[in-house]
Amino acid sequence: MDNHEPPVYRASYELTLAIVRFVRDCNPDYKMTLGARLQTEVLNMSAVVHHINEHSEKKEYIQKALNHCFYIRMILRLMLDISIIKLETNVALNLKIDEVAKQLSGWKKSL
């Protein structure tokens, strides 16, 4: 990652990497269902984050990325509630989501 890029790029990449690694090691019964949906959401969020600067309606795209963060949290919560993910892993991933959401919210406020 380039040092001149917004820190949210690094945070979204780290979240994406953590989610992909988690799903890789996920129970096979859920890898292709909830795991696939989780990966799709995080990859979509990361793509939206990287396209924000290309659009004049930055706030709209920031909100789209924040919505993906919400869906990622929702899936992780479901996985926790049905015992697919350990509490410690859930907390670690949610801290990464917090970092992305915090930076996106700050970017949105600065516009």
Looking at every residue in the chain, the average pLDDT score rounds to 94
Answer yes or no: are the C-beta atoms of 26 and 84 closer than 8 Å. yes
Rounded Cα distance between 79 and 34, Å, is: 8
Q: What tens digit of pLDDT does each residue of 1-51 get?
A: 566 778 999 999 999 999 999 999 999 999 999 999 999 999 999 999 999
Residue 35 Cα distances to 22, 39, 51, angstroms: 9, 6, 24
Please state the pTM of the whole predicted model: 0.91
Q: Quick check: 53 pLDDT over 90?
A: no
All structural domains of the chain, each given as residue ranges with its CATH number in brackets, are 7-110 (1.20.1440.60)
pLDDT digits (tens, 9 = 90+) for 60-84: 999 999 999 999 999 999 999 999 9
Instruction: Compute the average pLDDT of residues 95-107.
Output: 97
Tell me which long-range contacts 37-43 makes (C-beta under 8 A, separation of at least 24): 37/75, 38/72, 38/75, 38/76, 38/79, 41/68, 41/71, 41/72, 41/75, 42/15, 42/16, 42/68, 42/72, 43/16
pLDDT at 5: 79
